[in-house]
Structure 1
Amino acid sequence: HFLYLLVPFSMRHAVEHAYSAMFVLPEEGAADETSLRSFLGISAHELFHLWNVKRLRPAALWPYRYDREVYTSLHWFTEGVTDYYTGVSLLRAGLMEPSEYWQRLSAELTQMENTPAYALFSPAELSIDSWLAPSSYRPALYQGSFYAAGKRVGFLLDMTLRRETQGRVTLDSLLRYLYRRYYLRGKGLPEAALEQAAVRLGGPALKSFFERYVWGRDTPDYEALLAGLPLRVEVTQKPYSGWGRVGILRYRAESEGLRIEEVLLGSAAEKVGLEPGDLLLTVGGRAAKDLSPAFWDSLAEGAQLQLGWTRDGFPLEAAIQLRSALQKHIRIEPIAEDFLKSY
């Protein structure tokens, strides 16, 4: 059963149950194309939880315990792989065009490649840390999501299984094996169950995959991982534009200045000490809130400007030298229709 509670304010929440799912969504529901996409996505996600989490779940959650914190390194699997199947399910059902699916996947991978946390914490570490994140003790710059990390692992694991077995084994095969091996025997998944099952079904290359991309923090080599599959892979680097040139990726305007929300690691802004939460007041003696992104685009590489900002009410300033930050772009698309039929 799908139970939808539509409310007259902005809220999005959903919880899976053993035989149903409960949703709290804005009252416009699926009134236009954008909200329909969102509605279908969250519904597909919770539907897949009937298998992944409500049946197939970590031993740490078998049985459920509500009197203590429960730690597992498998939330990348419980939520992230479920998120991977959200898009796959919509694609298989004909509710999403293939072109849109691959565009969205490429955009999500691109975003992760340009978010520092995913190079600093493994999917397993992000999973264990779920009780503490987001945390005021960790800067926003270093916070990542096991949803996103697991979705990337899910896609690459699916492709690696296909490549290593010439298409005989897929992520579907792995889930079915785990379902029979554990759930139907009344057991939860041990922490190493996925790796062991993947190696059993896909061969020794899967052990290295888990060491590097699940337990480890390696940045995926997409061209190598997807080599031999009927996929076109493009990895490029392009300079940011506007505020992104100095590494200020997200901000919001306030009455006195710009509240910094995201700073790119290694950028000019990060090197002078600008952090998320800071209030940027002036740039080169001008009010920061009055500057458009075009201001930064007009500056020559190497230009120097004085920045003034406050942190928790304390004034700070530093000279910044413009060194355009680079953004990695990932583009993946199939080059054979037969691959889509097997997907």
Structure 2
Amino acid sequence: MKKKLLATLFMAGALTSHAALAEVQYQIKITNAAQHLAEVKVDFPAVTGKTLDVQMPIWRTGRYEVLNLGKNVRQFVATNGKGKQLSFAKTDKGTWQIKTQPGDTVKISYEIYANALGERTQHIDDTHAYLDASGVLMYAAPFRSQAISVKLDTPANWISRSGMDKGNCDHCFVAKNYDVLIDSPIETGEHEFHRFDVDGHEIELAIWGRGNYDGKKMAADLKKVVEEGRKLFGAFPFKRYLFIVHATDGVGGATEHINSTVIQKPRWGFAPRKEYLNFIRTAAHEFVHTWNVKAYRPKEMVPYEYQKENYTRLLWMAEGNTSYFEELLTMRAGLQTRDEMLEEFAKALFAYEHQPGRFYQSASESSFDAWIDAGGERARNASVNIYSKGQLLATAMDILIREQTKGAKGFEHVHQYLYQHHTVEKGGYSEADVRAALKYVTGKDWSDWWAKYVDGTAEIPFTDILNQVGLKYTIEGGKDDEQKEEWFTGWRTRDTGDHPVVIEVERDSPAWKSGVVAGDTLIAANGLRLTPKDINDKLWLSQQTPIKLTLFRRDELRELSLTPTRQVKGKAKLKTVENVSDTQKDLNSRWLGVAWPTPKVSPSSNTEKAKD
């Protein structure tokens, strides 16, 4: 009996040891690129139990939303190492439970349909394949920490690239575990390719699709972004980094990964300058994520839970702060001007001013609810966005830190502290850790400020905060800065069809108070027919208030009384305050990282000066 027990224990130990050393092997064969099809094979090491659950994640990193990633799987088959078929049952939308025997190796195969380019989970066509493991490659929890190898079988002349390390063939990659694999998408196909070096680190750029971009300029500008990122955080958390750019139609967006990013833009959306700046800002945003989210992130997201949501109250830091640093990085890299950066911030303030939801949901609540934030017509009235609110909070905190430390420190030093002390390997950071970092940087307790503006919905005092750096927020007219007025209703419309359809009504606006709701079709104002092209002209033409508004609601004709208000017509701007002091100028320069602008001198003034 004793010998039998020892033998059993020895066998169990041997199996465990073998499992610890063996790798999980993936093979992906593009079987019909035009029809978006591939065959996936996975070899798992020896199992120790009588069942093995293999799963597709229910969400992908970088997108806080539950996705039905298992829906694209068909023709699932499981066998043991000897080729004997194993029985299995699908137990939920993304789990296949296989019956096994201890000591068996397990092989699975399945067909994957890959046509979700906009979700950035997987896409295959006759020119390329974009493969994010979350939408392509199953895993088994017992082997999540095992080493990984991936081999692709692709059409001729395709080239495969990834942030992962290269394997022993042109289309082979290796990773230390599934967490690295799922955060290292593969781009294979026909690309324009560029490579450059920053501080001994290889940076690569692969562009798929035709468009109005200049690949050489793109690579040169991305190099500047990478250099500024290193200055901001002090060191790179990767050995090699890959920018994947999709120039395409119908989709847009971007996703960060630990050693790469994918950025999607309309193929004709890389010019003119404003469009190109949008691309560069996006690239800067995703690159900052290499630190903020990938190298360090909220502790509730360590490790990622691929079968359920990772709730945290700190997504406003993970995402919104990154939006803030994208602007600074792009400006400090010399790719956008100081005025362009301040213009973007003024636009963000204007949008925030017209978001009543800021009084109904805090930044921390919005972070927690990001998983269920469905948007829609009520979002602006009842919610705040983790990106915009986090960006504005970062701006306020940066300026306040500069003021408290006489310009010596800024919000970037808080993030540097988190990167140094609360990496993913160390378990991530908590809300208390962020407040401790703020105290470390400034020497002051931020608990009350946090309670009011992060956990609470108090209005951020931007008038006073911006004054610290010599700026004021204003709405101004055209080139002559003539202050003009316009009517304000508070609705947004979808301008398609014969008549405008209301898609959103701002809380407490004139339209809200008159009873206009989303879905109303606007027919006439004071008897004048309203069309999408002239809705504003007809409202202003009427001049008399209240306006008799005629509309359809649920196909029933109605009349409402609308009294628009007058508001300043123009553009949101940040301007220099009157009698700006040297102290304000200095703090502004330390905040933005660029010099306070020198007043332009006209040619005539230069001539007069020369005569003196």
d(CA) in 2 for partners of 1:156 and 1:64? 30
d(CA) in 1 for partners of 2:271 and 2:561? 49
Q: How much identity, in percent, do the aligned residues show? A: 24
> Residue 2 of structure 1 corresponds to which residue in structure 2?
243
What amino acid does structure 2 have at the position aligned with 1:170? G
> Residue 589 of structure 2 corresponds to which residue in structure 1?
340
1:140 Cα deviation (Å)? 5.2
Structure 2 counterparts to residues 215-294 of structure 1, below 5 A: 215-227=455-467, 229-234=468-473, 244-248=487-491, 250-289=492-531, 291-294=534-537
1:299 Cα deviation (Å)? 4.7
- Please tell me whether residue 196 in structure 1 is matched to residue 436 in structure 2: yes
Higher mean alpha-carbon deviation, 187-196 vs 43-52, is at: 187-196
Per-residue CA deviations over 1:137-187 (Å, capped at 9, x if unaligned) read 946533431100000001111111111121222111111111122117622
1:73 Cα deviation (Å)? 1.0
> Residue 81 of structure 1 corresponds to which residue in structure 2?
321
1:212 Cα deviation (Å)? 1.7
1:28 Cα deviation (Å)? 3.0
1:206 Cα deviation (Å)? 2.6
d(CA) in 2 for partners of 1:317 and 1:119? 31
> Residue 187 of structure 1 corresponds to which residue in structure 2?
427
> Residue 163 of structure 1 corresponds to which residue in structure 2?
403
> Residue 263 of structure 2 corresponds to which residue in structure 1?
23
Q: Is the 8 A contact 2:258 2:290 kept in 1?
A: yes
Q: Secondary structure at the residue paired with 2:488?
A: helix
Q: Is the 8 A contact 2:357 2:381 kept in 1?
A: yes
Q: Secondary structure at the residue paired with 1:324?
A: strand
> Residue 297 of structure 1 corresponds to which residue in structure 2?
540
Higher strand residue share: 2
Q: Is the 8 A contact 1:268 1:323 kept in 2?
A: yes
- Please tell me whether residue 97 in structure 1 is matched to residue 337 in structure 2: yes
Q: Is the 8 A contact 1:141 1:276 kept in 2?
A: no
- Please tell me whether residue 126 in structure 1 is matched to residue 366 in structure 2: yes
Q: Secondary structure at the residue paired with 1:111?
A: helix
Q: Is the 8 A contact 2:521 2:551 kept in 1?
A: yes
What amino acid does structure 2 have at the position aligned with 1:61? M
Q: Is the 8 A contact 2:403 2:587 kept in 1?
A: no
Q: Which has the higher contact order (CA 8 A, sep 6+)?
A: 1
Per-residue CA deviations over 1:16-41 (Å, capped at 9, x if unaligned) read 11111112222235243232112111
Give unmatched runs, 5+ long, in structure 1. Answer: none
What amino acid does structure 2 have at the position aligned with 1:81? N
Structure 2 counterparts to residues 117-156 of structure 1, below 5 A: 117-135=357-375, 138=378, 141-156=381-396
d(CA) in 1 for partners of 2:519 and 2:576? 38
1:43 Cα deviation (Å)? 0.6
d(CA) in 2 for partners of 1:245 and 1:137? 18
- TM-score normalised by L of structure 1: 0.88
1:262 Cα deviation (Å)? 3.2
Higher mean alpha-carbon deviation, 276-285 vs 132-141, is at: 132-141
d(CA) in 2 for partners of 1:25 and 1:323? 38
> Residue 81 of structure 2 corresponds to which residue in structure 1?
none
d(CA) in 1 for partners of 2:490 and 2:568? 9
1:205 Cα deviation (Å)? 5.6
Q: Is the 8 A contact 2:380 2:506 kept in 1?
A: no
Could you say which structure has the larger radius of gyration?
2
Higher mean alpha-carbon deviation, 100-109 vs 139-148, is at: 139-148
Where in structure 1 do 4 or more consecutive aligned residues deviate above 6 Å? 236-240
d(CA) in 1 for partners of 2:448 and 2:386? 20
Higher helix residue share: 1
